[in-house]
Structure 1
């Protein structure tokens, strides 16, 4: 029986813009800076303002698509070694979120973990979340943070700080070629 949260029903969104934001944060962290500086925050705010409401929704959908794609890759990687991806990804992710209360207030952690679990079980994170109403302002940073943490997890597994970005870029490029 098909689920209303089946990924084939989900909007893809602006994956390129979402990836650009995640990649920017990954580079910030790997360059030794612990937080986005005023310049990066200003650029992010300028980008959000230039998108308008529909554009912001597209980036939200794109971020959910990234979460889905990252979890599909992680699921395949862990399962190829006889491991359950939920067992290895979710506890680590939740523990990291709990150590970052300014980025992940305790009340959003179950939702962010739910997005990852939805993707791990081959459901659309965005459609799964949509059942509970529109995104709240308080969920914006945690949503981006969840995609960031998954990308970082992939990069650490592969020992390649650009692997997650390249994974998505290659997927987008191959889609453009079809």
Structure 2
């Protein structure tokens, strides 16, 4: 049994995560995820066919979600172009506990996101808003150049993007209105989305 903790899925808990892959000594096994009721940001991982320590020495473990049977390593970061539906926003997430040293008697893994979360809060001129898009994105690894974000309500939009550097002056938010107007927000300063 291993314990997983930290912000894990898009809402910072393990809700909806049923299994993760655990790689140890060259073998990948699926582990079931059981939420910790006192702290939904933590979970317990169990398996009907678990990895076993052959001695009490520290081991190196890699684990990830989402997991597809047959995978031998975490998949590359590839987000969806249309994240307007919550399932597609959540389906763009990738978390990994990469090459972590685990101690016998204290098998804890710390998962981190491989995607960057971008949140847009529109504060002015939202009447007649037809669409919001993230634009000018890196297409490295087959990622989309544009993303339609998830509408959280209250003029707040969010999307998961592949890690990338964004240079100052990049037009990265485009808002289109029902009156035909288009507003573009350009990045003021260079930034790294990790």
Higher relative contact order (CA 8 A, sep 6+): 1
More strand by percentage: 2
- Give the TM-score band, short-chain normalised: under 0.3
Q: Which has the larger radius of gyration?
A: 2
Relative to the length of structure 2, the TM-score reads 0.25
Relative to the length of structure 1, the TM-score reads 0.26
More helix by percentage: 1
